[in-house]
Chains A and B, each alone.
Chain A
Amino acid sequence: MKNRKIAIFSEDINGPRIARAAQELGITPYLFYLTEPNKKEICPIYKIDANLSTNILENEIESLIGKPDAAISCIEQTNVNIARYMENIGIGLNSIASYEILRDKARMKSLWLKEGISTPFACIARSFSELDLSLFNFPVIVKPTHGAASAGVRIIQNEEELKKQISKITRFNITTLNAEKVENPGFLIEEYIDGEEYSVDTVWFKGKPILNGIMSKGNPQGPTFPDRLYLTEPSLTKEIKKELLELSHKAVKSAGVISGATHTEIRMRNNRGYVIESALRPGAGGCFYDIFEKAFGVSFYKALVLVSLNKHTEKDIELIDKMNLNTCDATSRYFWYNMGYHGHGVIKNIEGQDKIINAKFIDELCIRKKVGDYLPAECDSYSYLGWITGNFTDENTFNNYYSYLQVMENYIKIIY
């Protein structure tokens, strides 16, 4: 097959990792970032407005790299538009509807409730006046229909808190979502499921799950639910794993997904799973794939590149089949921890990084923001300050890893 090209829409941590995987497979990668690249990588990088209309986006990409054989989007907010571009040039693998459903919490919720897929009960509305509060008992969860990174998600104890949070979500919808041109965004009021939470990242190929990475999130209690700790859990029982995989696969398949990466979040209560949400992109933009490679010894990045191609060689299929044999069982606690922060504004300085870099159990510290960048208030918007990854190799930390990571988190001070 002629030299194949792949367009990767990402940010500057995971994009290069996917690019490297593509190169190792003999496929030529091109990176597209939403912001100006600030360092050279192993392949050409372009800044692009991924919210441009489809024809303009097509012309722009064509002028830069020609027509790619595959495209991967890791950024939730641009997924639908990139899907339209892919369909326009004949390399789309999933219907636009699949992307639209898994971008819109209202649509995925309605679908799951209609299909009888286990999910917390919810109502969808666009203003407080539309709500029928008699349908719910507090506490409830309220969230925007088009969030990401748990922006705007909050547990609500009473009507006054509800009104306040709806106002915040409405503000998020009309400001932050504006660039994405979402029509009629709103919010969900959802039944609160108190129980352990898990995420399931799946790489799909022609309707079949090839690789599954399960991570434990603990039982976050709120009041907000920022993405925090995800870790591979050796003590995960076969029964829970089966429940998580079956439910996540059902939820994703109901949206018509055929090939690509999905990330699904599930809460358990009394050994029953409730799917919270799903997205047609890798978890945390692809960060978890690095964890999975360390934990399971298989490259989810390579799997994603392979399944994203619209035509396959025999060698591609052979590789996919081989990957499919990996059961992805964790033998150690590899973690990804998104660091919390206080305040919001333009960053004047970030202190404390040196205390973390050499700390026990920490492999990598990644700070996504720099001096001069705007950092929104955590949980009001979708912007990570940064994260740490590592491996809890010492059994003694099993009960106190949260505390340990919070100590790390508290080392970081943002000066606005």
Chain B
Amino acid sequence: MAKILLLEDEAPLRSLIAELLEEEGHSVNQCEDGTISLNKEALSASALMITDIVMPKVDGLEAIRRAREANPEIKIVAMSGGGRVVARDYLRDAAIFGASVTLEKPFSPDVIVDTVRNLLRD
């Protein structure tokens, strides 16, 4: 139903979430880092973005900022396992940068599926 951007560098996680969402009928564009956020068309075309925070090349906070700029309507879900080098709650930063929902890893599959469903319904 909707075009979803998925940004996550951990491959097994990424492929599982993509599968679950595709089972719901969405079309998922998988990315292993945040460089997609440099692509304004991709951002404008998507209805929802799910992004991890700690990623190579372009990180999640950067991606969220760019996505917010390029597409103010886009729904953004941020997920994180916590700071990598400093003990920082990046989800709080993500919310400030413009994420709609933040999820702490690990979470169960229903959580991500329900979140996406609720966000797209509004």
A and B from one complex:
no
